[in-house]
Amino acid sequence: MAEESRANGRFERALVVGAHPDDPEFGFGGTVAKLTAEGTEVIYVVCTDGCQGGEDPAVPDAELSAVRYAEQRAAAEVLGVREVVFLGFRDGSLAPTLELRRAITREIRRWRPDLVLTHAPLRSLDGAIGAFHPDHLAAGEATLSAVYPDARNPRAFRELLAEGLQPHRVREVWMPGFDHADHVVELSPELVERKIEAIRCHRSQFDKPEMEPGAPAVWVRERMRKAGEKAGVEYAEAFKRIETA
Ligand SMILES: [Zn+2]
């Protein structure tokens, strides 16, 4: 049977760190819906401005970013997320730099989450290549480095102390499991539909010639069904869970 989602007791607050607008929903949407329904406060941190997520090179970057930020806010609202923080790094250029680590550390210290959900920092060569966008790997690596050691170490990024941001220890990190999954969050059909409704808010991402209408709902549901099947439940999202306290 599936393991309970509260792997280490109840979570007061969860921070979801995604590379692009739409990653929080594709990667964690069902789990976010479940957490907020259980009373966990969820905050999104979106690292990039989403300006590469389109097919028309004539559209100005700022225009596309504005559309994607609005879509991200709407999707977050569907899932009951309290706040969306946009770090504004350039889409397609993300690297696990000290600058990115500092920006994520700032948000960890500001929101003080027990649980962090983010991308895996490693490629799985068996997974769909789209899951391993280089920005995802960079966001995953920078987030793990922010969780340990930066957010908890008072000597790291000392300028954050001057902003009133004290060190903070995150208790757990969950990343999409791929070939390392060891934690399954069971999702009811209602939570699955909520995730799909949130994904549908990212309209600009489905306005592509090769995309059949309704296609994202089909493959997103199928992915949750496959993750559930492995765990003996109908639908699930599967993660690699690490304890980081
Ligand atoms: Zn992405």
21 CA → ligand 1 middle, Å? 7
Question: Look-up: residue for tokens 């789209």?
Answer: 130
Number of Cβ atoms within 10 Å of the Cβ of 39: 10
In total, how many domains does the chain have?
1
Question: Look-up: residue for tokens 């920078």?
Answer: 142
Q: Is residue 8 a part of any domain in this protein? A: no
Q: Which two tokens stand for residue 208?
A: 């592509």
220 CA → ligand 1 middle, Å? 15
The pLDDT, as a whole number, for residue 1 is 37
CA distance 183 to 23: 19
**Full residue range of the structural domain in which residue 166 is found:** 13-243
The pLDDT, as a whole number, for residue 178 is 79
CA distance 211 to 99: 36
- pTM of the full predicted structure? 0.94
166 CA → ligand 1 middle, Å? 30
> At residue 160, what are phi and psi to the nearest 5 degrees?
-70, -30
pLDDT tens-digit profile, the chain (245 residues): 344 444 556 899 999 999 999 999 999 999 999 999 999 999 999 999 999 999 899 999 999 999 999 999 999 999 999 999 999 999 999 999 999 999 999 999 999 999 999 999 999 888 888 889 999 999 999 999 999 999 999 999 999 999 999 999 999 999 998 788 999 999 999 999 999 999 999 999 987 777 776 778 888 999 999 999 999 999 999 999 999 98
* Helix (H), strand (E) counts: the chain: 7, 7
Q: Is residue 123 a part of any domain in this protein? A: yes
23 CA → ligand 1 middle, Å? 5
Q: Is residue 6 a part of any domain in this protein? A: no
Four-residue CA torsion sign, 129, 130, 132, 133: positive
179 CA → ligand 1 middle, Å? 19
206 CA → ligand 1 middle, Å? 14
The pLDDT, as a whole number, for residue 203 is 92
Q: Region of 182 please: left (phi>0), alpha (psi -120 to 50) or beta.
A: alpha
204 CA → ligand 1 middle, Å? 14
Q: Is residue 181 a part of any domain in this protein? A: yes
Q: Is residue 4 a part of any domain in this protein? A: no
87 CA → ligand 1 middle, Å? 14
Q: Is residue 122 a part of any domain in this protein? A: yes
133 CA → ligand 1 middle, Å? 6
Residue pair 42/14 in contact (Cβ under 8 Å)? The answer is yes
Q: Is residue 7 a part of any domain in this protein? A: no
92 CA → ligand 1 middle, Å? 10
136 CA → ligand 1 middle, Å? 6
The pLDDT, as a whole number, for residue 67 is 97
Q: Residue 55's domain is classified under what CATH number?
A: 3.40.50.10320
The pLDDT, as a whole number, for residue 206 is 86
24 CA → ligand 1 middle, Å? 9
167 CA → ligand 1 middle, Å? 29
162 CA → ligand 1 middle, Å? 33
The pLDDT, as a whole number, for residue 130 is 85
134 CA → ligand 1 middle, Å? 9
Strands 172-176 and 236-243: antiparallel
153 CA → ligand 1 middle, Å? 29
The pLDDT, as a whole number, for residue 217 is 86
Q: Is residue 2 a part of any domain in this protein? A: no
Residue pair 30/187 in contact (Cβ under 8 Å)? The answer is yes
150 CA → ligand 1 middle, Å? 24
